[in-house]
Structure 1
Amino acid sequence: MTTANRSTTDTGLFADRETAFIDGEWLETTGARMLEVVDPSTEEVVHRVREASVADVQLAVRAARDAFDRGPWSTFTPDQRADVIEAILAGVSARSEDLAQVATAEIGAPISMTRNSVKFGSTYLRYYADLARTFEFAESRKRLDGSTTRVLHEPLGTVAAIIPFNGPFSMVCMKLGPALAAGCTVVLKAPPETPLAANIVGEVIDDLTRSGTIPHGVVNIVVADREASEALVADPLVDKVTFTGSTAVAKQILATAGQRIARVTAELGGKSAAIVLDDADLDQVIGPLVMGGLVNTGQACFGLTRVLVSEARRDELVEAMTARISQLVVGDAHDESTTTGPLAGARHLERVEAYVKQAVEDGATVAVGGNRPEHLDRGYFFEPTVLIDVDNASRVAQEEIFGPVISVITFRDIEDAIAIANDSVYGLGGAVFSADADRAFEIARRIRSGTVTINGFVGSHVTTPFGGYKQSGLGREGGVEGLQAFLEPKSVHLTS
């Protein structure tokens, strides 16, 4: 591994903010604290934002509720809603470099990755604008007696969209696109650690509100920590919560939303397994295997963090993984040559270190990495790490680390590999590598995960459903399923 030095960014993007976008206006927030955004590459404070109070969040919810119940948004046709989404797409596309720069500063993801992430997020706006124009929001069905029922797919109502720290812009698009296509109104809750990208989206929405393209209150954006976030979920005027984040927080959301039977979509944690069969070509395996485990410095719920391989091929595979990792450039995320940036914060770095230490105490061996880089004297960096001799029952194999740590686990035969892959409370992603694609497909069918890739790594794709089995979540994002998650079907029976 090598290191890269810092390059400068446009500090004009990082002016402090004491407002939230509510009911088409930037209103002064009344929270007690100024939240600090720290650049993980430098450990420097780059932005401060005043948190939204409970009262601020309630105001945003009322604005969204009024816009849904009484505003002109309810009269917009699907084509008109598609026009709105396309206008948002045009606005964020014009700010694409700004979005990439702030994401690198607040998350620590390499600038090359954040530029791609902005493009990826934008595809969701494009897709749902197009889908709004073609989806059958009303259809006729024949009943058994020959009479007709009109099945209407109506918007659920007011949506609380809670965004994770590790992909703030792409997650905004994944939630905002289908919600608006369905006809819902939205309160976006940006994470306190990474609020900048969401607020740039707010600036785009502001421009479109002033021009009359988007009615007041349709999209509201607040930056809130725990107390105000809990109030958002508990608000009786919220019809649906769409959440991406940890399984632990999701359990609290489900308990709260369940009191009023509010709808919930939850995309949660993962401990995805990649099964490498003996006939797999390692030259083709290593790239997606390493990328899949270390994407966004391991801060990706769908990452391939468990690699399953036979004892006969383990050493060969680990040697190839080590060689590929040695080519990575670990350093300041703003540098164009960096491939692997820092972790999101000091507490997160300490957590990853503790997991690796615990793994070694439990009998695992560090094949590569395992420490903070010696030549970086600041920043929340941790070396890309491969652990071998890992027991699948150990904490490092069962719990989501959310860092650049890959555990290599050996299996006896295919049945054992499938059993190990499924021996997890999670079921978000996975992969199977084999020269025999048909055989790999049959194995993939037996893995209890929402997404499995054959001979590659794909986290999510705009046209297909993404979500998890078991404690990896409820519902799906992406594809037609992502739109349906914001719709309520109604049957209108015609009797004559």
Structure 2
Amino acid sequence: MGGSPTALNYLNGEWIGSGPTAESVNPADGSVLGRYVPGSKALADQAAAIARETFERTAWAASPRLRAAVLYELADRLEAAKEELADLIVAENGKLRREALGEMMGSISETRYYAGLARTVLGRTLETAPGNFSMMNREPAGVAAIIVPWNAPVTLLIRSLGPALAAGCTVVIKPAPQTPLIHHRVMQCLHACPSLPKGVVNSVNENGIEVGAALVASDDIDVISFTGSSRTGKRIMAGAAPNLKRLSLELGGKAPAVVFDDADLDQACRELTNGALMMAGQICIAAARFLVQKSIEKEFTDRIRAAFSAVRVGPGRDPESGMGSLIDHDNRTRICRLIEQAGDEGELVLKGGVPDGPLSRGAFVTPSLFRIDDLHSELVQEELFGPIVSIETFEDELEAVTKANATKYGLAASVFSLDINRVMRVSRAIRAGTVWLNCHSRLFAEGETGGYRHSGLGRLHGVEGLNDFLETKHVYLEAGAV
């Protein structure tokens, strides 16, 4: 983008940039990267009205080939800008560059995947009696509001935007205030798509909670697709109740990793170090609880402590860094408080904290491990969203499953054992939307993800990712009556 960019709002194919601005800050060093123009309730209402008018008055909803063309064009433009966007993700989000580039490659793949699906949204037909036909048509649900978090601002936008556009919805996006420059650059890629009609995609920057609240309350919005905390998801659900919006909610997680005594510990520690510390633990599928069979607790603990200790914390642009920064200083302070709480309630196996030297100016914190026996502790029950992980033990398979299911969350889990029958039994018993076997954190466009219980509603990725943006209409014909 060059210079000191300003992220604008985007309505009806035009950039809206008047009014006061706010700063976007690099969490690794506190430098100002650029500015953004916050939106407002009035702007959100205007964007929703534009999306409604576009949906009802244009051919977009009935044009699958056009929708596929737009998504292919977007994928091409994201690919052309992937290095620039990866650098911007590192600067504005704080993650490692390899993580940022992986985010871009996943986003490009997802965009192309839904471009292909756009032309194959299929219904079904049946003859219930001679000459009586029921046609089950799949139609776009209407106007979708996409509320995007800061931790993976491109991937978590595309995994909702892709199926929404493929289904034929029009869209209003609310990006995270922590990553407005990244979002603005993605919107520039969209704006450059020659086949995209005006008004199909609109975007309004947040201003506190004003914009999000306006979209949740708007009568022009039919679907809310939100990724974020369970607490905020419940507020959205309550706000959407008066006009019965459809909800797609991917919420918090507290992923257990169950390690049995016959596991390959080299593989388990390698997978769980990455699974717990990728994006500095600021991801809802992060391995957050290590449930270890008692007979191997000491060996596992020694190995995982060594692995965590070897992770070099540093700026995302440094290829030697093994973990980047948190998103801001407030979250650094929050994680440091949790480390002290873990020492009070359990045993600190590895005490992390703010590193010395130049890194202390950024939002960096080193990884922590703690051993705890109290299943009711909030350290076990609540999502901590950072590089701090509990070690808990179990005696047998039944206790492992009981403990894995002991929180209110059910987004993801992993199981480590060389016994194929055991991992299949345990994966079936764990109540989570995704269970990885002998690995952790594998996501791709073709495979659905989503949560049980307090981890959300609906599914993202895969063919089922279209479902939250589609309605089924039953059209009935008695052929003899025509």
Q: What TM bracket, shorter-length normalisation?
A: over 0.9
Question: What secondary structure, in the 3-state scheme, does the structure 2 residue paired with 1:427 have?
Answer: coil
Taking the aligned partners of 2:59 and 2:169, their CA distance within structure 1 comes to 12
Q: CA–CA distance in 1 between the matches of 2:404 and 2:329?
A: 31
The aligned residue for residue 420 of structure 1 is 403
TM-score (norm 1): 0.93
Match of residue 65 from structure 1: 52
Q: Could you say which residue in structure 2 is the equivalent of 1:190?
A: 175
Specify the code of the residue in structure 2 equivalent to 1:217: G
Instruction: Indicate which of 135, 139, 149 corresponds to 1:154.
Output: 139
1:436 aligns with 2:419: yes
Counterpart residue number, 1:74: 61
Alignment of 1:243-392 (within 5 A): 243-362=226-345, 364-375=346-357, 376-392=359-375
Q: Deviations over 1:310-331 (max 9, x none)?
A: 2221111011112222332211
1:26 aligns with 2:15: yes
Distance 1:181 1:187 in 2: 15
Contact 1:41 1:378 in 2 (8 A): yes
- 8 Å CA contact 2:252, 2:383 repeated in 1: yes
User: Are 2:2 and 1:15 equivalent residues in the alignment?
Assistant: no
Runs of at least 5 residues in structure 1 that lack an aligned partner in the other structure: 1-10
Q: Give me the TM-score of the superposition, normalised by structure 2.
A: 0.96
Aligned 8 A contact 2:60 2:66 in 1: no
- Cα distance in 2 between the residues matched to 1:238 and 1:194: 24
Secondary structure of 1:485's counterpart equals helix
| Partner of residue 107, structure 2 | 121
Secondary structure, counterpart of 1:465 in structure 2: coil
1:214 to 189, 196, 203: 196
Aligned match of 2:69? 83
- 1:205 matches 2:195: no
Q: Contact 2:109/2:445 (CA < 8 Å) preserved in 1?
A: yes
CA distance in 2, matches of 1:29, 1:232: 21
AA matched with 2:213: E
- SS of 2:439 mapped into structure 1: coil
Displacement of 1:484 after TM fit? Answer: 1.5
State the Cα distance separating 1:151 from its structure 2 match. 0.7
Q: 1:431 to 1:201 in 2, by over 3 A?
A: same
**Paired amino acid for 2:6:** D
> In 2, distance between residues paired with 1:144 and 1:282?
61
Deviations along 1:286-333, one digit per CA (max 9) or x if unpaired, are: 111111111110000011100001222111101111222233221111
**1:223 aligned residue:** 205
Q: CA deviation at 1:270?
A: 0.4
Single out whichever of 329-338 and 179-188 deviates more from structure 2.
329-338
| CA deviation profile, 1:34-83 (whole Å, cap 9, x unmatched) | 2222111101221211200111111111111111011232342x222111
The aligned residue for residue 37 of structure 1 is 24
Q: Which residue of 2 aligns with 1:466?
A: 449
Structure 1 residue 386: Cα displacement: 1.1
Structure 2 gap ranges (5+)? none
1-side partners of 2:252 and 2:307: how far apart?
Answer: 26
For the Cα contact (< 8 Å) 2:36–2:181, is it kept in 1?
Answer: no
> Which letter does structure 1 place at the counterpart of 2:81?
R
Q: Distance in 1 between matches of 2:442 and 2:213?
A: 29
Quick one: percent identity of the two aligned structures? 36
- Are the aligned partners of 2:256 and 2:412 in contact in 1 as well (CA < 8 Å)? yes
Separation in 2, partners of 1:22, 1:68: 14
1:451–1:466 CA contact under 8 A, matched in 2:
yes
Match of 2:95 in 1: 109
What is the root-mean-square deviation in Å for CA atoms of aligned residues? 1.5
Pair 1:135–1:245, CA change in 2 (3 A): same
Alignment match, 1:406: 389
Structure 1 residues 414, 377: closer, same or farther in 2, change over 3 A? Answer: same
Q: CA deviation at 1:188?
A: 1.0
Code of the residue aligned with 2:5 in structure 1: it is A
Structure 1 residues 409, 145: CA separation in 2 closer, same or farther (over 3 Å shift)?
Answer: farther
Aligned equivalents of 1:96, 1:419: Cα separation in 2 = 43
Tell me the CA shift for residue 337 of structure 1. Answer: 2.0
- CA, structure 1 residues 59+134, in 2 after alignment: closer, same or farther (shift >3 Å)? same
CA contact (8 A) 2:325 2:362 kept: yes
Residues 1:54 and 2:41 are matched in the alignment: yes
Cα gap change, 1:146/1:459 in structure 2, threshold over 3 Å: closer, same or farther? Answer: farther
Matched, 1:93 2:61: no
Residues 154-192 of structure 1: per-residue CA shift (max 9 Å, x gap): 000000000001010001110111001000000111011
Distance in 2, matches of 1:145 and 1:318, equals: 69
473, 477, 482: which one aligns with 1:490: 473
CA distance in 2, matches of 1:314, 1:26: 57
CA offset at residue 440 of structure 1? 0.6
SS at match of 1:42: coil
AA aligned to 1:218 is V
**3-state secondary structure, aligned to 1:152:** strand
- Residue type matched to 1:55 in 2? A
Structure 1 residues 336 and 123: CA distance shift in structure 2, 3 A: same
Whether contact under 8 Å (1:333, 1:341) holds in the other structure is yes
The answer to whether the Cα contact below 8 Å between 2:61 and 2:140 also exists between their aligned partners in 1 is no
**Deviation string, structure 1 residues 230-277 (Cα, Å, up to 9, x no partner):** 011111100000000011111111011111111000000000101101
Name the stretch that deviates more: 324-333 or 336-345. 324-333
Spell out, residue by residue over 1:194-248, the C-alpha distance to the aligned partner (whole angstroms, 9 max, x if none). 112211121122222xx3x111100111211301210111111000000000111
Match for residue 448 of structure 1? 431
1:13 is displaced (CA, Å) by 6.2
Q: Is the 8 A contact 1:241 1:262 kept in 2?
A: yes
Q: CA deviation at 1:115?
A: 0.6
Q: Name the aligned partner's letter for residue 384 of structure 2.
A: I
**How many angstroms apart in 1 are the aligned matches of 2:442 and 2:24?**
27
CA deviations 1:448-487 (Å, max 9, x no partner) are 0000011001353211211100000011101111011110
CA contact (8 A) 2:121 2:167 kept: no
- 1:329–1:338: 8 Å Cα contact kept in structure 2? yes
**1:168 maps to which residue?**
153
1:283 is displaced (CA, Å) by 1.2
Which amino acid in the other structure matches residue 318 of structure 1? T
When structure 1 is superposed on structure 2, of 303-312 and 145-154 the one drifting more is 145-154
Classify the secondary structure of the residue corresponding to 1:305: strand
- What is the rounded CA distance, in whole Å, between the counterparts of 2:205 and 2:229 in structure 1? 18
Which range moved further: 461-470 or 239-248? 461-470
CA–CA distance in 2 between the matches of 1:219 and 1:149? 34
Deviations 1:111-132 (A, max 9, x none): 1110111101111101111112
Q: How far apart are residue 14 of structure 1 and its match? A: 4.3
Q: In structure 2, do the counterparts of structure 1 residues 119 and 370 end up closer, same or farther at CA, with 3 Å as the change threshold?
A: same
Amino acid at match of 2:71: I
Are the aligned partners of 1:267 and 1:468 in contact in 2 as well (CA < 8 Å)? yes
Q: CA deviation at 1:359?
A: 1.7
